[in-house]
Structure 1
């Protein structure tokens, strides 16, 4: 029960490589995929998890091997979170930048296409925020977590404007 069938160093390195590969893969997939998970996305994640399990532990089926791989993944996740806080530039590398989709009531169709969003996705977010017309929106932003934030035209505030300026610069 407490015996590794694969050397510990090999499990650690394999788990690190798999973590980074999956992180890069999800980063390439884009913000929409992360924020709007469908049943297809869930199936994909489960299949990926099953596919990479052997890549992490090799032929090791011991409890120790599985726990070691899990511990490495948890530590790496914590390290990535810490690096994001310490170095915002590195955080942007992992997470990307917020993307303006609507500005002053005008739909930025190029940005919508670039982010892989259909207009229906934006319209759904508008309804969730209580908007039915683009003209009522000052700013709609696809956030790095895949959610869409909406700033109404009728309720400007200093904080909102400052945040909007920061987003527009990118």
Structure 2
């Protein structure tokens, strides 16, 4: 109950580094997108990769080659779906959210705050973090597709047609 068999421990010592190195190799081949700031789709793939790694390490029923194949399949599926999403707008809309303006010209968009479940305090914190203080001097605060918050100062606003609605 508290200790595993010697075989199980040796298996983990051998399979662990091999599975880890295999995962690193798959991630390097799959490109930066897999490791970029994540939207929900990317997050699911990352969690699935972690779960697969844990299963390969801890389950005697899953051999290393099957685990590596699972890594490759997950990375390939992510690549294919991202490639299709770049070319087919409905697919992109299905897997990615759109950016949303939370504050424009110092005025909060209350509907956007409610829809996106963001508080005024979180917007104010993002403004402070960006070096701003007065919300009246902020052209826009945008909730990006990856969940980060961008702050656009009035002097840097330029063309406002780029602000999402």
Please indicate the TM-score interval, normalised by the length of the shorter structure.
0.5 to 0.7
Q: 2:155 aligns to what?
A: 154
Cα distance between partner residues in 2 of 1:52 and 1:70:
8
Residues 107 and 134, structure 1, Cα contact 8 Å, conserved in 2: no
Q: Which has the higher contact order (CA 8 A, sep 6+)?
A: 1
Q: 2:136 aligns to what?
A: 135
Cα distance between partner residues in 2 of 1:100 and 1:156:
13
Residues 141 and 149, structure 2, Cα contact 8 Å, conserved in 1: yes
**Alignment of structure 1 residues 107-146 onto 2, 5 Å:** 107-146=108-147
Q: How many residues align?
A: 121
Residues 52 and 71, structure 2, Cα contact 8 Å, conserved in 1: no
* Deviation per residue, 1:59-90 (Å, 9 max, x gap): 84111110111111010111122112112332
**Alignment of structure 1 residues 44-83 onto 2, 5 Å:** 49-50=50-51, 60-83=61-84
Which 5+ residue runs of structure 1 have no aligned equivalent?
A: 1-25, 29-33, 35-44
Q: 2:162 aligns to what?
A: 163
Cα distance between partner residues in 1 of 2:79 and 2:118:
30
- TM-score scaled to structure 2, two decimals? 0.61
Q: 2:87 aligns to what?
A: 86
Specify the structure having the higher radius of gyration (Cα): 2
Secondary structure of the residue aligned to 2:155 is coil
Which 5+ residue runs of structure 2 have no aligned equivalent?
A: 1-38
